[in-house]
Structure 1
Amino acid sequence: METDHDTVSLGEFEFQSGESIPDLELAYETYGEFTGDNAVLVCHALTGSAHVAGHRGTQGTAGQARAWWDDIVGPGKAIDTTEYFVVCANNPGSCYGSSGPASENPETGEPYGTDFPAVTVGDWTEAQRLLLDELGIPHLHAVVGGSVGGMNAIDWAKRHPDHVERVVPIASAARLDPQCLAIDAIARRAITTDCDWQGGDYYGTDAKPTDGLSLARQLGHVMYLSKASMEAKFGRRAAGRDAMRSFPVDPAGTFFPYRDVESYLDYQAEKFVERFDANSYLYLTRAMDNYDLSAGFESDADALAAFEGEALVVSFTGDWHFTTEQAEELADALRTVDQPVAHHVIESDHGHDAFLVEPEKVGPPLADFLEDGVDGKSVTDTVEREDESSQFAPVHTSLFSD
């Protein structure tokens, strides 16, 4: 697979907040060959990078060695790089090569830290538009994204309706619900109350807010799993004898088992803090939390009224982070303005992570939609089911309810 990894300088960039930086750098990767009408923009999720497919040796906060959607993007796969020219950019505010809190402020020679402007999903969309201009791509065949990347995808239909033919928000919604807003708020407080956060100015020091970032990531992982997947994966089992606790335990706690689910969360957190920046986590979660498709318009439908392409909304029955009901609301907004849309519901117990771990379920409808739109052979729309009273399978609307 022909792959190109690069960083482009986009010059002075004004964020939605009104603040600017003198030079926005955007790390990106491209796959395949551009033929004029075959460009597909893939938008990554919260802590993803531009490295969506293939293999690359870099890792740490300069990039991810493991591609995050390699089962979907590549030759002969759902987003077939022998047919499509795929572009994936690391979002501003992240720490995988694009400008963010950890990158150098050219005016001071020091990391921006919390002097970096607040970022929004809209800023990501505008930065991507500038990148595509640099690459000589005026029009997109499709924009595809999962989770907050799905918000990014639908934002393209809102901000640049004439520049894209098809949009595919997967495991996403027009906005977050209060439960997810609450959990994200706790995650940020775990970081900012870590004494090693130092007001965000921890760069160049030996002390980093690893405990706070670890806890934030653990909360994230709980959001990404469903009750069913956690029961199947962990149950109430104790961890193995060699498992080591990552956090201090109170004296009474040593009487009780260190459970398998705790060990899993600790392991994931330890790996995450090695490669991600705490300030970036603050910035990116706020961008996700702040996104509201209807902002500046009377409704979601009004925000999408200028879009004349087609949309495929994909949701998963076990996902309580972005539920099937929220996805249906997004699809219904498009129906309201008479745009061709299919809401494809996938039966899954994997929770929010399903869009990453079940490519065999995501791939066929995605591939068929990219080729034939809503008329694709594997694309189904829940409203077209004979029994509309049972459109949706049960959803884990709360991880904490029975």
Structure 2
Amino acid sequence: MSETVSLGEFRFACGESIPNLELTYETYGEFTGDNAVLVCHALTGSAHVAGGRTRETSGQARAWWDDIVGPGKAIDTTEYYVICANVPGSCYGSSGPASTRPDGTPYGTDFPPVTIADWTETQRALLDELGIPHLYAVVGGSVGGMNALDWAKRHPDHTERVVAIAAAPRLDPQCLALDAIARRAITSDPKWQDGDYYNTDASPTHGLALARQIGHVMYLSKDSMDGKFARRAAGRDSLRDTFPVDSAAGFFPYRDVESYLDYQAERFIERFDANSYLYLTRAMDNYDLASGYESNTDALAAFDGKALCISFTGDWHFTVDQSETVAQAFRATSTDVAHHIIDSDHGHDAFLVEPEKVGPPLADFLADGVRGSAVTDTATEEDERAFAPVHTSLFG
């Protein structure tokens, strides 16, 4: 079951503060003093990382990594004590734009700008509340992988192992551009009302739906989209969002890929807050591992543990090249590191939908470090390009 802790006054990296920051979290397993594993969720994830639908949770009923975290699984909760916290700025229990300020009104866009550094510092404060001075490992996928890297940067002495899955030291311009379009879809919705929609009868669901559809296209590869949908027309009972001429003449087909995007958007707007989407994408876009340092290597120089990067050949959102950049930075500091590259056509979603490929190297790394039998360092200093090609563009 989710629990919420009050961390008191918290000053964000931007310099602004709120009088009482709340963090919602879940724990799994038993703490033995040296077995704590922090799992960092992706952009719209929650603290509910495992346990199927058996737990009460804030907003997200389905555990997002149930195939990886649990008894006998890659992050074995009979061995490790797992903590997952919903990040500030989100809408699954932790303080964010939809939260109530001291005067009883929602913060809206008066909530301070949030960064990944803020996520790291609130997680550190949560661990202090739980009496956990040191982590065995920090694990995260996607922007959660950036969060994990930030732990190596900001608290290098507080964790023994770092695992960054489908992550990058920073976003490239193509992803920045698509995130910008997604945010403009929300802020262009008349119902957004400059973020002050909480006490009205309507919220900017149309803009949020469009933003989510852009996100889903980013998470899939060309191959996975072709395999899932091809150019097939959708069934008669599929959710439809068509041009008027389609309905009038029945001439142009409503395609399977359109139906998928519409369905995913409808599900998403039922559970997520539009302002939170704006805040969280900004936090991801703003992150730069090297910020405040001369390079990625300098940012990671103080970390003296072991690191694992996992990437997927079909992921054009966070590419194999970007993961290799992180691995190179760890190597340059003489950190024991492996870059495990998974051949997959699932795109960015692979870290969620292919547990049979993610689980073995992750479990072996947690148990045996980079010497684990399922962990392969496929890119070395002598052959930095020894990996399969990736889809570098959505359109080309």
Is the TM value for this pair above 0.5? Answer: yes
Match of 1:289 in 2: 285
Deviation of the 1:57 alpha carbon: 6.0
Local SS of the residue matching 2:162: strand
Residue in structure 2 matched with residue 44 of structure 1 by the alignment: 41
- Deviation string for 1:221-280 (max 9, x for gaps)? 00000000000000000111122323x514267521110000000000000000000000
Give the TM-score normalised by the residue count of structure 1: 0.96
Distance 2:380 2:197 in 1: 54
In the alignment, is the contact (CA less than 8 A) between 1:58 and 1:64 conserved in 2?
A: no
From 83, 100, 104, give the equivalent of 1:104. 100
Cα deviation, 1:125-145, whole Å, max 9, x if unaligned, reads 000000000000000000000
**In structure 1, what residue type is equivalent to 2:245?**
P
Task: State the shift of 1:56 in Å.
Answer: 4.1
Moved more, 334-343 or 125-134: 334-343
User: Residue 302 of structure 2 corresponds to which residue in structure 1?
Assistant: 306
In structure 2, relative to structure 1, the CA distance for the partners of 1:57 and 1:373 (3 Å cut) is: closer
- Residues 399 and 99 of structure 1, relative CA distance in 2, 3 Å threshold: same
Q: Give the superposition deviation at 1:198.
A: 0.6
**Cross-structure match for 1:251:** 245
- Cα contact 2:179–2:281 (8 A) shared by 1: yes
Q: Is the 8 A contact 1:161 1:307 kept in 2?
A: yes
- What secondary structure sits across from 1:383 in the alignment? coil
> What letter is aligned with 2:30?
E
Structure 1: gaps (5+ residues): none
Given that 1:226 and 1:320 are in contact with CA atoms closer than 8 Å, whether structure 2 keeps it comes out as: yes
Query: Number of aligned pairs?
Result: 394
1:357 is the counterpart of 2:353: yes
> What letter matches 1:249 in structure 2?
F
2:11 to 9, 14, 25: 14
Superposition deviation, residue 317 in structure 1: 0.1
TM superposition shift of 1:384: 5.2
Equivalent residue for 1:184, pick from 179, 185, 197: 179
Whether the 8 Å contact between 1:26 and 1:90 is mirrored in structure 2 is yes
> How is 1:2-401 mapped onto 2 (pairs within 5 angstroms)?
4-56=1-53, 62-105=58-101, 107-246=102-241, 249-251=243-245, 254-383=250-379, 388=383, 391-401=386-396
- Does structure 2 conserve the Cα–Cα contact (< 8 Å) formed by 1:59 and 1:275? no
Q: Tell me if the contact between 2:246 and 2:253 (Cα under 8 Å) persists in the aligned partners.
A: no
Instruction: Give the C-alpha shift of residue 391 in structure 1.
Output: 1.1
CA distance in 2, matches of 1:244, 1:214: 13
Secondary structure (helix, strand or coil) at the match of 1:381 reads coil
> Residue 379 of structure 2 contacts residue 385 of structure 2 at CA under 8 Å; is this kept in 1?
no
SS in 2 for 1:243: coil
Deviation, 1:388, is: 3.5
State the AA in 1 paired with 2:278. Answer: L
Query: Is the Cα–Cα contact under 8 Å of residues 318 and 395 in structure 1 kept in the other structure?
Result: yes
CA contact (8 A) 2:38 2:83 kept: yes
Q: Secondary structure at the match of 1:353?
A: helix
Shift of 1:59: 7.8
Report the Cα distance in structure 2 between the residues aligned to 1:339 and 1:55, rounded to whole angstroms. 36
Q: Contact conserved, 2:145 with 2:168, CA < 8 A, in 1?
A: yes
How many angstroms apart in 2 are the aligned matches of 1:391 and 1:282? 37
Q: Distance in 2 between matches of 1:209 and 1:173?
A: 31
AA of the residue aligned to 1:63: G
Superposition RMSD in Å: 1.5
Q: Deviations over 1:73-124 (max 9, x none)?
A: 000000000000000000000000000001111x210111001000000000
Structure 1 ranges of 4+ moved more than 3 A: 55-60, 387-390
Structure 2's unaligned 5+ residue stretches are none
Q: Distance in 2 between matches of 1:186 and 1:84?
A: 40
Contact 1:334-1:340 within 8 A present in 2 as well: yes
2-structure distance, mates of 1:209, 1:218: 14
Shift of 1:305: 0.4
The TM-score with structure 2 as length reference comes to 0.97
Q: Percent identity?
A: 76
* Kept in 2: contact 1:52–1:69 (CA 8 A): yes
- 2:123 maps to a residue whose letter is Q
The code of the aligned residue for 2:391 comes to: H
Aligned partners of 2:292, 2:370: CA distance in 1, in Å?
A: 28
